[in-house]
Structure 1
Amino acid sequence: MPIKALLFDLDGVIVDTAIYHYQAWRRMANSLGFDITEEFNEQLKGISRTESLEIILAHGGLTVSEDHKLALATQKNEWYLELVSQMTPAAILPGVTDFFVAVKTAHLKTAIGSVSKNARLILERIGMIDDFDSIIDGTKISRGKPDPEVFLKGAAELHVRPDECVVFEDAVAGVEAAKRGGMLAVGIGLPSVLTQADLVVPSLAKLTLEEVFTLSAVERP
């Protein structure tokens, strides 16, 4: 099946806002009387704000009301937005700009598939909002990764079949979502971690579009 569309996770693939998430979550945890480490923050990658909050509260041994959870999530997001609002195109990860030049030349369809509700803001700040034909973010989905909803909606908006798509992901949950959706997956990170991916590279700087096209020969269920 020919490859017609590329779907990208945002955080860790196009930009890296993990440090901003960590700083905001740590500030929230500190306000509640405990701390979290960067290592702990790794398990929050690729999952929703609500799920992240539940994990952090459990880590701190706290039980709070639903109203309090909502207030905490809102406060965390405000702190996070303070940080990302200062982002510039300099935040784009190595290799992304050159890779997208090749993507445009090949006339491939593109979409963002991110659980973040701030995806559009980030893309605007880094000057890449017009590089995507569709943006599926946390405002358009009801289920987070590893549920494939975000990528299936992306394929639908691009008017392509799932087996005509390649997903680029840095998180285990995201790779699993792609595979559950019947799509090919390129992992950005370590092969020992992203074991379900069809191909793993350290960054888009280490990947050519020709290598992506070779994935069309990979057998899918």
Structure 2
Amino acid sequence: MAKFSDIKGFTFDLDGVITDTAKFHEQAWKQTAEEVKTPWSDQLAADLKGISRMDSLEMILKAGNHEKSYSHEEKVALADQKNKKYQQLIKQLTPADILPGMEKLLNDLKSAGYQMSLASASKNAPGILKQLGISDYFKGIVDPATLHAGKPDPEIFVRAGEILGFRAEEMIGLEDAPAGIKSIKGAGQTALGIGPATKTAVPDLYFDNTAEVSLAAIKERMA
């Protein structure tokens, strides 16, 4: 693992690290399920986490035995409709929706002169940062539409590193998902995992929740 004194930049995942938009995805998918007459359940909600839009729709249709009832075009329209609902819902986000400890971390990193970039698979990331009032902290955001492969492929964190212009060993990546930790490690950066789910991917640094993550704690654990 790199030495803390070598670190110059931080690459961040967004959902589950800086804020949590999972509740909005769930609300939007629940409306879609009601529309296609699939019974909603906690299990279905859990199964959809981290799954792509079209795959999520297929799971909802399958859960109600409707997978053969819609043409490809109708499915695309339903998925599109879900995203529009989600985009409406995330307009409710305010700076109060930044996860515990993260605003202080961003402020401390900025004050100490570290550079930051965003490695989020969400096409809505720029709008979410704006709603949270933290766009200015980031030197840049990776455009997920330009990627050839999603996490756990390292590409998104490699690109987030290129935005900052540092060597891989000079950066720490923050993630709350095992696929994201694998992506950071594949990119050669120090992987900081948040939450028990990341343990399976063996992060270099581990914190139970966002409230525990601070510049001082990171420094201490890398000493």
Band the TM-score falls in, shorter-chain normalisation: 0.7 to 0.9
Is 1:66 the counterpart of 2:75? The answer is no
- The answer (yes or no) to whether the contact 2:182–2:201 under 8 Å persists in 1 is no
Is 1:111 the counterpart of 2:117? The answer is yes
What displacement does 1:90 show? 1.0
What displacement does 1:33 show? 2.1
Of 187, 200, 209, the residue aligned with 2:215 is: 209
Cα displacement string for residues 83-105 of structure 1 (whole angstroms, at most 9, x for unaligned residues): 10111111111101111121012
What displacement does 1:180 show? 2.0
The structure-2 alpha-carbon separation of the partners of 1:166 and 1:60, relative to structure 1 and needing over 3 Å to count, comes to farther
Match of 1:129 in 2: 135
- One-letter code aligned to 1:83: L
Q: Which moved more, 1:204-213 or 1:142-151?
A: 204-213
- One-letter code aligned to 1:112: L
Q: Which moved more, 1:151-160 or 1:66-75?
A: 66-75
What displacement does 1:43 show? 4.4
- The answer (yes or no) to whether the contact 1:184–1:215 under 8 Å persists in 2 is no
Q: Distance in 2 between the 1:163 and 1:47 partners?
A: 30
CA RMSD after TM alignment = 2.3
5 Å matches for 1:41-190? 41-61=45-65, 62-63=67-68, 64-190=70-196
The structure-2 alpha-carbon separation of the partners of 1:43 and 1:110, relative to structure 1 and needing over 3 Å to count, comes to farther
- The answer (yes or no) to whether the contact 2:98–2:132 under 8 Å persists in 1 is yes
Identical amino acids, percent of aligned pairs: 40
Q: Distance in 2 between the 1:115 and 1:192 partners?
A: 17
What displacement does 1:21 show? 0.5
Q: Distance in 2 between the 1:175 and 1:192 partners?
A: 7
Match of 1:12 in 2: 16
The structure-2 alpha-carbon separation of the partners of 1:163 and 1:55, relative to structure 1 and needing over 3 Å to count, comes to farther
Cα displacement string for residues 8-36 of structure 1 (whole angstroms, at most 9, x for unaligned residues): 11111111111101111121122222134
Counterpart secondary structure, 2:100? coil
The structure-2 alpha-carbon separation of the partners of 1:68 and 1:191, relative to structure 1 and needing over 3 Å to count, comes to closer
The structure having more radius of gyration, on CA atoms, is 2
Cα displacement string for residues 172-218 of structure 1 (whole angstroms, at most 9, x for unaligned residues): 2211211222222111111675442122213332122133245667x
The structure-2 alpha-carbon separation of the partners of 1:57 and 1:193, relative to structure 1 and needing over 3 Å to count, comes to farther
What displacement does 1:112 show? 1.0
Of 169, 172, 196, the residue aligned with 2:202 is: 196
| Bigger helix fraction | 2
Cα displacement string for residues 34-60 of structure 1 (whole angstroms, at most 9, x for unaligned residues): 134344434444443344334444444
Q: Distance in 1 between the 2:195 and 2:43 partners?
A: 16
Match of 1:24 in 2: 28
After TM superposition, what 4+ stretches of structure 1 lie above 3 angstroms from structure 2?
A: 35-48, 50-61, 63-66, 191-195, 213-217
Q: How many residues of Structure 1 are paired with residues of Structure 2 in the alignment?
A: 217
Question: So what's the TM-score if we normalise by structure 2?
Answer: 0.86
Question: So what's the TM-score if we normalise by structure 1?
Answer: 0.86
The structure-2 alpha-carbon separation of the partners of 1:192 and 1:85, relative to structure 1 and needing over 3 Å to count, comes to closer
